[in-house]
């Protein structure tokens, strides 16, 4: 168990560094879609909610798990949709000559 937690800490720290390095390079132009994208990715928390709602260990877990699925799924669907809509709007002056 302890070894697991230590591994998790390593994973967290390394992922944090990757996050910094990758996100630092993103142009301020795209900061709004970036936020909606990371928000959608963050909704991967849905995997925890799915297990909570599906294991049927207690009524409370099923109820809270189901609400959690609703919340996370709306972020996944809404987040990806709006990010793509925003990105579609970004055009260069070369690509949009009439």
Partner 1 sequence: MNSFFGAGTAIELTYLAATILFILSLKWMNTPSTARHGVWAGEIGMAVAVIGTLLNRGIVDYKWIAIGLVLGTIIGVPLGKVQMTAVPQRTALSHAFGALCVTLVGTSEFYLRTPMVPRFTMSVLSMEVILGSLTFTGSLMAAGKLQELLPQRPITYRGQNLVNLSLLAVAVGVAVYLVLHPGHALLFPLIVGIPLLFGVLMIVPIGGADMPTVISLLNSYAGLSAAAMGFVLNSKLLIIAGALDGASGFILSVNMSKAMNRSFSNVLFGAFGQEQAAVAAADGEARTVRSASAEEAAVILGAANKVVIVPGYGMAVAQAQHKVRELYDVLTKRGVDVKFGIHPVAGRMPGHMNVLLAEADIPYDKLLDMDEINPEFPQTDVALVVGANDVTNPAARNEASSPIFGMPILDVDKARTVMVIKRSMSPGFAGIDNPLYYLDKTLMLFGDAKSFVGAIVRELAGQSA
Q: Minimal distance in Å, beta carbon 2 to partner 1?
A: 8
Q: Which of residues 34-63 bind partner 1 (CB under 8 A)?
A: 34-58, 60-62
- Between CA 66 and CA 89, with CA 35 as vertex, the angle to 5 degrees is 110
3 binds partner 1 (CB under 8 A): no
29 binds partner 1 (CB under 8 A): yes
Residues in the chain: 98
70 binds partner 1 (CB under 8 A): yes
Cβ neighbours for 41, distance < 8 A, ≥ 6 positions apart = 79
């Amino acid at each position: 168990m302890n070894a697991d937690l230590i591994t998790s800490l390593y994973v967290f720290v390394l992922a944090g560094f990757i996050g910094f390095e990758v996100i630092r390079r993103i142009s301020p132009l795209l900061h709004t879609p970036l936020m909606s994208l990371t928000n959608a990715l963050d909704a991967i928390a849905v995997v925890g909610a799915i297990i909570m709602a599906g294991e049927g260990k207690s009524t409370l877990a099923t109820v809270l798990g189901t609400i959690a699925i609703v919340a996370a799924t709306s972020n996944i669907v809404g987040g990806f949709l709006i990010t793509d809509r925003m990105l579609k709007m970004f055009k260069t002056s070369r690509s949009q000559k009439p």
